[in-house]
Every structure is written in structure tokens, then in C-alpha cells.
Structure 1
């Protein structure tokens, strides 16, 4: 198999290339070594060059670049989790095959997954110019089409069911990629985690994450059996419920507790914090399949432009989410002329804090009881005030709710 020829053929002439692929004999190791790893490296390397070496130019701000250490860390994590994602998606496609008249075949499932990703991987070169990275979305949709053409050939699903098979596979895959992107985005400092060097791969958190990833494949098998039974029953509601449970399995929701009501979370916020009055209080509950979250958000201000925003999110203790969160947390103690960033654990809780020395902004975030994320952002206040606002919601109250809604 010539990598360049295969990549060109599966992208330009997938209809004729899939039958050739179906007849090829290969191994998981060979496919990863000679095709998946080289091509999946394209978008992450391009992103590293684009964000770290070239940067993004913003009006009135200048060029923003990701620090080298952070860029390398993000690159490695993106690459490794990307390899894991391909295998997990192949497990999903394999498990779903009988529900759409196909035949289970793990090797064929891995092949159809890997080769269908080719257009998206090749388009990843656009990430060298960050402003063009969004064009990769078009390539992603084309990859869906390539997958649609490949499923009937490799998984032997009837053509009339290929569209539904593709749709369900894509939905499950997107959900999985969202979870993985949360980890990578966390490393990039987009939300909770900040940046830093990876903790030892032998840590309990890493082992737990890998264990949950392995369990998901087995859980999909169980979910598949339920879907088969529901299909035989001829009950549309039972089929819909089984499909929702399968989606929940991908999200790690099989072990998720029912989330705490948003009003109960809103009740955690006091009227004032450190002389700042509460100016707004909101709550919401969201769901994707069986995966649910609820959160409450409060903002505190005064007349001198001191501001603090506190958000409490309940993930329901999803094991997959918790494992990913723990794996994404890293140990770091970094200080520059402008500020500092720390990451690690405080009283056993994964914690991240970042602060600008001029007091213009800061944040303090942590995971409580393995399910509640408390995020606190401050402007024109010191870190002591930010931490006090975080603690004001009552970590002990959250700990007391850790088993609420447990199934």
C-alpha cells in the first residue's frame, strides 16, 4: 500500500477505491504505523506551526502566539488522543453494524474509519494559517460522505441503510471528539485547565482515563445488544430509548447520576461576596442524549468596576468526563513578569489558578467531589478575593451532594 496513492485515490475516487481496500489484508499495527500515524500528524503539526510559530494577528493587539512549551504539549496530547479516537470510533462503527444490516468485523471497521478520515487529515495542512483552519470543516463533511460510501462495502451494510448508519456513527464520533477536544482545549488554556507539562503517564489519573476508554468499547457492545432487542420488539419508543442509551454510553453517561436541579445550584450563591453585590443569577440544564449537565452562574460587582463571576457546573459524575478531566489536569508552577499560573491539587481536588500581576484578571477553578466544576473569574480584584468567592459557594455543600441522583 502506497500512502500517497491511497490518500489520493480515497479522496478523489472513493467509490472505486473502497472495493480495493475491502480485499486488502493488513494488521492494526501496520495500519497505524504506515497510514494513520503519518496522516493524523498533519493537522496537529500544522496547528503547532500556525499557532506557535506564525500566530494570529489581531487589530490593535498585534500577533498572538502560543508559547513553545504549551504548543509542544498540545501537539503531543492532540496526536496521542487522535490515535486513540480512531480506534474508539472504529469500535463504535463495528458495534453498530448489525443494527443496520451489516456484519461485525473489527479490522474492516478500523480500515473504514482510518481511510474515511483521510480528506480531513489532508485538509489539516490549512491549520498552518490559523484563519484558514475553519475550511477544514468542509473537508470533514466530505469525510462523512467518504464514510457513507465505505460502510456498505467494508461493513456489508445494505446501501439503503448506509445513510442512517453513517448518521449514527457520525453523531457518536462527534460526541467522542467533543470530549477529546475538551481535554486538548483545556491544555490550550481555553477554559478550565491552563497550560503545563504532562504529569507522569503512570499516574492514577492516566490509568483511570485509559481504563474508561477501554470500558467504553465494551459498553458499546452491551448497548448494541439492547438496540438489537429493541429492534426485534418492533416498538419505536424502545428503539429510540436504546439509541439514546448508546449515545449516552459514548459520553460516559452510563455511570452518570441525575444532575442536581439548577435551582439547587443557584441557592449556593450568597447575596454578597467580600463587599461585592450579586448583580445577576442564572441557571440552566442541558442534555445531549442521556448525557446531562446543569449549572448556575452568578456575577458580583461594585461601583469601582470590581467584578467576580462564579459558575458551578454539575456533570453528574460521568466516569468518562471525570477520567478525561483528571487526565487533562497537569502539574505546573509558572511565573512571568506579567503574572503566574499554577496547576495541581489542593486538598485532593484538581485545581487551576491564573493571575495577572496588575490585577486586571484572574481565575481559579477546581473539581469538587468528582462531579462539580467551580470556575471563578475576577477583574480588578486580587487572587485572595477570587478564591474567597469560589469558596463562598460552599465546597462542603457540594461534597454533601456528591451522591445526589446516583443510579
Structure 2
């Protein structure tokens, strides 16, 4: 089962990446058996915490929640953005392959696998949203992003079969793409908020 890779990516990533390369799963199966499941963690936890737990800003301030319908709407949009983001990053891995001496594939199997498994720490960090404290969430997601970047760098030479020296530049280019994707989702959020998909706050 593909979910077995979750533990290995934290304990012995090198051998886990080698197993992932040997499996060479098709993108459709990888999405159904891995990405669709793990990407649910953050949106579901965010829905529960924002609609039912609430949060405060500063001391002696009232509890703030999102209206259940608004929280559900934003969680679904976040989930879809995550799915698109993983695919876009995987496509970028495959598209840049020849530039760094790797093999470009028609279905981008290796590229999407690399992107999906590198995002595992970010998927799991979604559990932190059950405790909706901004500074705590920011620290957890920052740590997850750092480890995700390390996994990307570590997995590139193994999955894409290139020398490790080339992986440094390759990983740097991919992190730039990841930042562009992140900024694009933020811009998209602002645009959606302006057309009626913004959060609806209620006092707890």
C-alpha cells in the first residue's frame, strides 16, 4: 500500500525513495491511493477547528469562529488547491527533467511521485490545525516545509536518476516553482473572496 511510505520517508528516506522509484506508480493510482487521502487531513482539521473550536486574537478577546457553511466552503477550496498544487509541482519536475540530465516521461510518473511524497510533511502538518493558534500552526508548517524541501532534494537524484551535484540546482529551481504556486494560490484566494467566497466570521 502506498501509505506505507509515510513512515519510511521520516525514518529512512533514501531507501524509501529507491522503493518509490522501483514502484513507478502511475499518477492516477498515486493520487487515488495517496494524495487524495493525505491531502484531506488539513482541510478536515481546519473545518473542525474553525467551525467548532474557534480561536482568539490576543488576551481578553471573544472567541471567533467561522460559520459552518463558510468553513466547509473554504476547506473544499483549500483541498482542491492542494491537489492542483501537487500536480503542478510534479509536472514542473518532469518538464525540467531534460535540463538537468534526467528523463522526461509522457505521463510524468516520477515527477508527480516526487512532488506528492515530498509534500507528505505538509499533509501531516494539517493535524496541527486542530489546535487553532496562529503562532503554533506557523511553526509546525514552517518545520514541515523545511523537511519537505529536504525530501525533495534528497529524492531528486534517486527518483530522477541524476548525479547529486545536479540535484542542488534542480531542487532550487523546483522550490522557486513551489513558491510561485503558493503565491498563485494566495492571489486566487483574494480573487475568490472578492466574488463572494470570503470567510464569514461569528462570535463563539
What TM-score does the superposition give when structure 1 sets the normalisation length?
A: 0.45
Summarize deviations over 1:238-259 as a string: whole Å, max 9, x none.
xxxxxxxxxxxxxxxxxxxxxx
User: Is the 8 Å Cα contact of residues 78 and 184 (structure 1) preserved in structure 2?
Assistant: no
1:92 is aligned to 92
Partner secondary structure for residue 56 of structure 1: coil
Summarize deviations over 1:163-219 as a string: whole Å, max 9, x none.
1111110111111121113323555x5xx455369xxxxxxxxxxxxxxxxxxxxxx
CA RMSD of aligned residues (A): 2.0
CA–CA separation in structure 2 for the residues paired with 1:193 and 1:109: 34
Summarize deviations over 1:329-362 as a string: whole Å, max 9, x none.
xxxxx9xxxxxxxxxxxxxxxxxxxxxxxxxxxx
Gaps of at least 5 residues in structure 2 are none
CA–CA separation in structure 2 for the residues paired with 1:46 and 1:73: 14
Structure in which a larger fraction of residues adopt helix: 2
Deviation at 1:87, TM superposition (A): 1.0
2:113 to 111, 114, 128: 111
CA–CA separation in structure 2 for the residues paired with 1:32 and 1:112: 12
Deviation at 1:69, TM superposition (A): 1.1
User: Is the 8 Å Cα contact of residues 24 and 110 (structure 2) preserved in structure 1?
Assistant: no
User: Is the 8 Å Cα contact of residues 38 and 123 (structure 2) preserved in structure 1?
Assistant: yes
Count of residue pairs the alignment pairs up: 194
Gaps of at least 5 residues in structure 1 are 198-333, 335-407
1:128 to 130, 146, 156: 130
CA–CA separation in structure 2 for the residues paired with 1:178 and 1:92: 16
What TM-score does the superposition give when structure 2 sets the normalisation length?
A: 0.87
1:79 is aligned to 79
Q: Highest relative contact order (Cα 8 Å, sep 6+), 1 or 2?
A: 2
User: Is the 8 Å Cα contact of residues 24 and 109 (structure 2) preserved in structure 1?
Assistant: no
Deviation at 1:42, TM superposition (A): 0.8
CA–CA separation in structure 2 for the residues paired with 1:32 and 1:185: 27
2:175 is aligned to 170
CA–CA separation in structure 2 for the residues paired with 1:38 and 1:69: 22
